[in-house]
Every structure is written in C-alpha cells, then in structure tokens.
C-alpha cells in the first residue's frame, strides 16, 4: 500500500484529534518501520490493518465508519497532491466512469507498484452509474468515503447503494446524481 495512504491517515489523526493521539496510535501499533512513512514508499497492507484495529479500540468507533471517514479525508489529500488527474472532469459521474481507464491509470504511471482496486462500469446514464468494485483488500467503505468527498468536491448531491455480490471481494455500487 502506498505511503500517501499512511501519511494521510496520520495527518487525519493529528488534525482531527491531536499529534499526541497520532503518536500514541503509532506506538501501540508497534509497526515494522516505527511509523516512519514517506508518501512515495510502499508498506504492507497488514500495517494499515494494525492501525485501524488500534483505532477501533481507542475510539470505540466501528472499523466501517473509520474507513469511511478516512476515505472522505483521503480524497482531499489525493486531490491536492494530484489535482491534474481531476482537471477535465465535470462531475462525480465523470470521475467514477473513468477510474479504471484514466484516474487510476495515471496513478499507476506515478507509482508503478500501487495496489489499486478494479472498478468496472456496468451501466451509465446521464444521471446514474453502476460500478463493480473488486479488491482483495475489501476497502468498500473507504471507497464510499472517497465517492462522497468527490461528490462534495464538485458540489454534487448523490444517493448511493452498495450490495455485496456472490463472487469473493466483489461489490456493486449504484450511484444516482440528484438534480
Ligand atoms: C471517487 C473517486 C475514487 C474512488 C472511488 C477510489 C477508490 C480507491 C480505493 C477503494 C482504493 C483502495 C485500494 C483498494 O480498494 O484495494 C484506492 C486507492 C488509491 N487511489 Fe483511488 N479512488 C478514487 C479517486 C482517486 C483519485 C482522484 C486519485 C489520485 C488523484 C486516486 C489515487 C489512489 C491512490 C494513490 C491509491 C493508493 C494505492 C496504493 O495503496 O498502493 N484515487 N482508490
């Protein structure tokens, strides 16, 4: 998993709680690199899972909600670091429509070893999109936070549905853009 994901999580803890709290979490997680992340390094996903487990315990917040909130925050960081990726997009549906064949492709060019998910577009209209999400990391709550933050970025209002499909690690998102 890319370092910017870790550095963004730590930034979020420092901003939303406090730098001391972020330090405590890192110390308790007892990570291999003692929490010294760089945004362009790569680190095992298991280290992120350790951090989330500690946060669940310390904040008594379910992992689902933590991941959602983190996804929301992460979008801001990604959009700031890589604004050019969003430059010619006019709304949230535009972004969701081209995750696999544009946005995450550009990410892959910058970071060849990025662990990116798969988003296939099943159906698209002027006001809705159906997307199939596949990732062995099952970060669908992170995806929900990213989607809501992306909608907010464009000033769009959306309604979302999420269904777990029978195939492993596979989920169906339906997003409607409200008028
Ligand atoms: C609504 C829009 C987006 C959605 C739904 C989305 C979804 C996701 C998800 C769910 C992950 C976690 C990995 C996984 O699921 O296995 C991820 C990773 C990532 N995404 Fe996106 N993404 C969006 C937009 C963006 C944008 C705009 C950028 C860059 C400008 C970006 C860059 C990345 C990066 C750098 C990672 C980390 C890869 C790694 O850990 O190695 N994403 N994305």
Query: Which atom from ligand 1 is nearest to the alpha carbon of 138?
Result: 15
Distance 104 CA to ligand 1 centre (A): 7
Choosing from 3, 4, 5, 137 the residue with most ligand 1 atoms within 8 A of its CB, the one to mutate for a pocket test is 5
How many angstroms from the chain centroid is the CA of residue 39? 15
CB under 8 Å to 150, separation ≥6 — which residues?
A: 75, 92, 95, 96
> Residue 177: left if φ>0, alpha if ψ -120 to 50, beta else—which one?
beta
The CATH number given to 74-177 is 3.90.1520.10
Domain spans of the chain, in order of start? 3-61, 74-177
Query: How far does the chain reach from its first CA to its final CA, in angstroms?
Result: 37
Instruction: Report which protein residue has its CA nearest ligand 1's atom 34.
Output: 107
**pLDDT tens digit at each of 179 positions of the chain:** 999 999 999 999 999 999 999 999 999 999 988 889 999 999 999 999 999 999 999 999 999 999 999 999 999 999 999 999 999 999 999 999 999 999 999 999 999 999 999 999 999 999 999 999 999 999 999 999 999 999 999 999 999 999 999 999 999 999 999 98
Query: 170 CB under 6 A from ligand 1?
Result: no
Report the half-sphere exposure of 13 (CA within 13 A, side-chain side).
Answer: 22
Average pLDDT, the chain: 96
Question: What are residue 124's phi and psi, to 5 degrees?
Answer: -145, 135
Query: 143 CB under 6 A from ligand 1?
Result: yes
Query: Which atom from ligand 1 is nearest to the alpha carbon of 135?
Result: 16
Distance 87 CA to ligand 1 centre (A): 16
């Amino acid at each position: 998993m890319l370092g910017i994901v870790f550095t963004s999580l730590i930034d979020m803890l420092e901003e939303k709680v406090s730098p001391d709290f972020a330090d405590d979490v890192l110390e308790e997680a007892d990570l291999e690199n003692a929490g010294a992340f760089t945004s362009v390094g790569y680190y095992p996903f298991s280290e992120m899972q350790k951090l989330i487990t500690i946060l669940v315990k310390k904040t008594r917040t379910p992992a689902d909600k933590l991941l959602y909130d983190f996804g929301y925050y992460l979008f801001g960081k990604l959009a700031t670091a890589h604004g050019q990726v969003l430059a010619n997009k006019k709304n949230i549906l535009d972004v969701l429509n081209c995750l696999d064949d544009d946005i995450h492709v550009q990410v892959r060019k910058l970071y060849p070893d990025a662990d990116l998910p798969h988003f296939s577009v099943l159906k698209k209209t002027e006001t809705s999109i159906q997307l199939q999400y596949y990732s062995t990391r099952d970060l669908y709550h992170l995806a929900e936070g990213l989607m809501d933050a992306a909608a907010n970025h464009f000033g769009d209002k959306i309604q979302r549905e999420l269904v777990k499909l029978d195939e492993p690690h596979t989920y169906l998102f339906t997003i409607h853009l409200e008028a």
